[in-house]
A = this chain, B = another copy of it.
Amino acid sequence: MAQLKKSKGEITREKLTFVAAALFHEKGYHAVGLNEICAVGDLPKGSLYYHFPKGKEQIAIAVIDAAKHQVAADLRAATSSATSLEEFIDLLLARFAQNLEQSEFNKGCPITTINLEMAGTSDAIRAACADAFENWIGLCTGVFRDAGIADKKAHELAELIYASVEGAMILARAQRDVSPILRAAPYLKTLVA
Q: Which A residues are closer than 8 A to B by beta carbons? A: 26-31, 104-106, 108, 112-113, 115-117, 119-121, 126, 129-130, 133-134, 137, 156-157, 159-160, 162-168, 170-171, 173-176, 180, 183-184, 187-188, 190-191
Verify B174–A129 contact, CB threshold 8 A.
Answer: yes
A167, chain B: closest CB distance, angstroms: 3
**A126:B176 contact, CB within 8 angstroms:** yes
Could you say which of B117, B120, B163 contacts A168, with CB atoms under 8 Å apart? B163
How close is A162's CB to chain B, nearest CB, in angstroms? 7
Q: Tell me the nearest residue of chain B to A127, going by C-beta.
A: B174
| Residue from the list B31, B115, B167 in contact with A165, Cβ < 8 A | B167
The residue from B105, B116, B166, B180 contacting A113, defined by CB atoms under 8 A apart: B116
Cβ contacts under 8 Å, A184 to chain B: 156, 159-160, 163
B30 touches A28 (CB 8 A): yes
Q: Is the CB of B183 within 8 A of A27?
A: no
Q: Say which residue of B31, B130, B160 sits within 8 Å of A174 (CB atoms).
A: B130
4 new A-B contacts, CB < 8 A, other than A160-B164, A166-B166, A167-B170, are A26-B120, A115-B173, A159-B168, A166-B167
Q: How far is the CA of A133 from the CA of B187 in the complex (A)?
A: 20
Assuming the A-B contacts A171-B163, A174-B130, are A108 and B116 also in contact, with contact meaning beta carbons closer than 8 angstroms in the complex?
A: yes
- Inside 8 A of A175's CB, which chain B residues have their CB? 130, 133-134
